[in-house]
């Protein structure tokens, strides 16, 4: 498969429909649209825009796969097995998804930029690229998310962005960093309140962004 732009996106959407539930696909398409808006807002060039949009379409490709199958995928791709093998952390789908997507679509479509953004979309990671951050934020603020913190972050980001001169990239990316930090803060607070595991990559992302 070597189409570009909308033709490529159409083919990917058709393929991911085999793996994602209807509601998941609605979320995926919403992240894709959010990434297009963010790409406009951040003035991404054609290449970066394409990487971001491709990663958006593929990011949750294994999210609907069961825990047992996730463990199988971990073994297949040589990923570190989750400590509690019966119940892998939900974040594992970002890792299995990147490998699975690369297996299906190949390295031309799932290149290192797309792979990297997919494999950090839930937790973030140390030293995230701008594409990693944009997908991370888009996944959190896309408009089908109904949590108050998601809605508030979406409103905040667009409001603050509206105040910045579009040529002031430094200010735009400072705002993006703040959004990632705040989203990690919300998520860690939620996880601690629920007494759930925290993927250590989220802490590494937090430390590297402060």
Residues of the shown chain interacting with Fe ion in the complex, contacts defined by CB under 5 A: 60, 122, 139
Smallest gap from Cβ 60 to Fe ion, in A, equals 4
Q: 54 or 122: whose CB is closer to Fe ion?
A: 122
Smallest gap from Cβ 167 to Fe ion, in A, equals 31
Residue 163 DSSP label: T
Q: 42 or 94: whose CB is closer to Fe ion?
A: 94
Q: 44 or 120: whose CB is closer to Fe ion?
A: 120
Smallest gap from Cβ 27 to Fe ion, in A, equals 6
Range 46-69 burial, b when 16+ CB lie within 10 A, else e: eebbbbbbbbbbbbbbbbebebee
Please state, in angstroms and rounded to a whole number, the distance separating the CA atoms of residues 154 and 138.
9
Q: 23 or 81: whose CB is closer to Fe ion?
A: 23
Please state, in angstroms and rounded to a whole number, the distance separating the CA atoms of residues 1 and 209.
37
Q: 35 or 109: whose CB is closer to Fe ion?
A: 35
Smallest gap from Cβ 120 to Fe ion, in A, equals 11
Burial group, residue 80, by CB count within 10 angstroms (0-12, 13-18, 19+): exposed
Smallest gap from Cβ 179 to Fe ion, in A, equals 16
CA quadruple 81, 194, 199, 187: dihedral, nearest 10: 150
Q: Are 82 and 71 in contact (CB under 8 A)?
A: yes
């Amino acid at each position: 498969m070597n189409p570009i732009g909308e033709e490529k996106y159409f083919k990917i959407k058709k393929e991911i429909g085999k793996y994602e539930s209807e509601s998941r696909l609605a979320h995926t398409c919403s992240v894709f649209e959010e990434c297009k808006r963010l790409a406009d807002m951040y003035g991404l060039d054609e290449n970066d825009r394409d990487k971001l949009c491709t990663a958006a379409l593929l990011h949750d490709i294994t999210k609907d796969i069961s825990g047992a199958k996730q463990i199988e995928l971990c073994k297949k791709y040589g990923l570190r097995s989750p400590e509690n093998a019966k119940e892998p952390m939900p974040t594992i789908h970002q890792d299995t998804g990147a490998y699975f997507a690369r297996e299906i679509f190949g390295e031309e479509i799932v290149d290192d930029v797309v792979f990297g953004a997919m494999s950090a979309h839930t937790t973030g990671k140390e030293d995230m690229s701008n594409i990693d951050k944009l997908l991370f934020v888009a996944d959190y603020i896309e408009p089908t998310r109904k949590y108050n913190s998601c809605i508030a972050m979406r409103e905040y980001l667009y409001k603050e962005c509206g105040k910045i001169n579009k040529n002031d990239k430094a200010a735009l990316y400072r705002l993006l960093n703040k959004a990632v930090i705040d989203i990690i803060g919300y998520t860690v607070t939620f996880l601690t309140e629920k007494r759930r595991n925290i993927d250590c990559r989220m802490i590494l992302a937090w430390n590297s962004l402060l």
